[in-house]
Each structure stands twice: as structure tokens, then as C-alpha cells.
Amino acid sequence: MVDVWPYAEGVFAADTFPKMWSWLVEEGMLRTVFYEGTRPLTLPGLVRYFDPLLNPGRLLLLATAKSGEGAGFSWFDHVMPGITAYASTFFRRKFWGPAAAEANRIALDYIFAVYRLARVYAITPARNRLAIAHAQRLGFRLLTLAPDMLDYHGGPATAAVLTLARDDFETGGF
């Protein structure tokens, strides 16, 4: 259903980030995906957020439908080879369900295989039940609910902390 590619400047079209921005805005998901702080993210802020020189521990993966249409993107923060990373994802609504799940499985397979991580974590506001359910379908397990761990739209929020071990992912033991 989808292909997933690690982002590399100069390899992807110059309008990659404006397209990502337009998806977030058109879907009304900008403040859901990038929820920290009181000021909303801007397009230049999105470009800086994924700039590998400013954020060397961040890996961006772009997903496209087999037709070539942009489906969404996933990224991993604080990538520590051989140890861990934190997963995040955004998909356009028309790709929710099997396509997003397939893209996220490919992204997880990539990060586990290339970086040989022991474990991946996902942290989301506990009120984001769709994100939690999606992560659990991918094999993530709820580790804990952490009160006041997140800044959600400028205020404290409980975080759901989920985890997926490489061994569980590779053996399908989830």
C-alpha cells in the first residue's frame, strides 16, 4: 500500500516541507501533532524542527502511497544507536487504518534494523486515545501514565508512555 523513505535534503523535492505543512493544516492536525507550547508551529518552525543540523538525533521518514501521493510521515527523536528512540507519526486521514499501520511497521522495521535499537518509546497525551490504540495495534505496550509530564497547548497534561522492544517486534510476539 505504501513506501517509506528516510528524508534526505537534495533527494526529495524542494516542496516536501510545504506539502507536509499543508497536510497538517488541511487535516486540522497541526496542534494535535505539534502540541507543545502556547504558540502554534509555523512552516519555518517545521523546517527547523526537522533540520538534521539543528536536531542530529531526529530521523524523518516520509510515506507515499504506491501511486506516489504523500500519505504522511513518521519520525524518531533522541535516536541512540543500539539503545533507544522515541517514535511519532502523522498520517492524512484518507490513509488512516491499514496504510498508516503498514507505513509505521516499515518505519519501525527500519529503525530497529538500521540502528539496532533495543526499544522504541512513544509518548502522547493520555487523552489521545486514537494514537494510543494505533500504537498498541503496532505492538506497543502501555508502560505508564505520567501525570503532568507534557506541555499540551500550554498547560500540563498526563502522558501515556508506551514501549516496544525490538525482540517483540522482530518475533511478532506482541
Tell me the DSSP string of 128-143.
Answer: -HHHHHHHHHTT-EEE
pLDDT at residue 125, as a whole number: 92
From the list 8, 5, 21, the residue with the least C-alpha distance to 62 is 5
Q: For the chain, how many structural domains are there in total? A: 1
Confidence of residue 174 (pLDDT cuts 50, 70, 90): very low
Write the pLDDT tens digit of every residue in 80-134: 999 999 999 999 999 999 999 999 999 999 999 999 999 999 999 999 999 999 9
Write the pLDDT tens digit of every residue in 150-168: 888 788 999 999 999 999 9
Which domain covers residue 92, as residue numbers?
Answer: 2-171
3-state secondary structure of 29: coil
From the list 144, 79, 143, 133, the residue with the least C-alpha distance to 110 is 79
Q: What ranges make up the beta strands (E) of the chain?
A: 2-6, 59-65, 70-80, 84-91, 119-125, 141-152, 155-165
Work out the average pLDDT over 55-69. 93
CA distances from 106 to 34, 51, 110, 111, 139 (A): 23, 22, 6, 9, 13
**Cell 511478532 found at:** 172
Q: Are the C-beta atoms of residues 165 and 173 closer than 8 Å to each other?
A: no
Write the pLDDT tens digit of every residue in 8-56: 887 888 889 999 999 999 998 888 888 776 677 889 999 999 998 999 9
pLDDT at residue 154, as a whole number: 80
CA separation for the pair 70, 50 (Å, rounded): 17
Radius of gyration in angstroms for the set of CA atoms belonging to the chain, rounded to a whole number: 15
CATH number at residue 166: 3.40.630.30
The chain-wide mean pLDDT, for the chain, equals 91
pLDDT at residue 10, as a whole number: 74
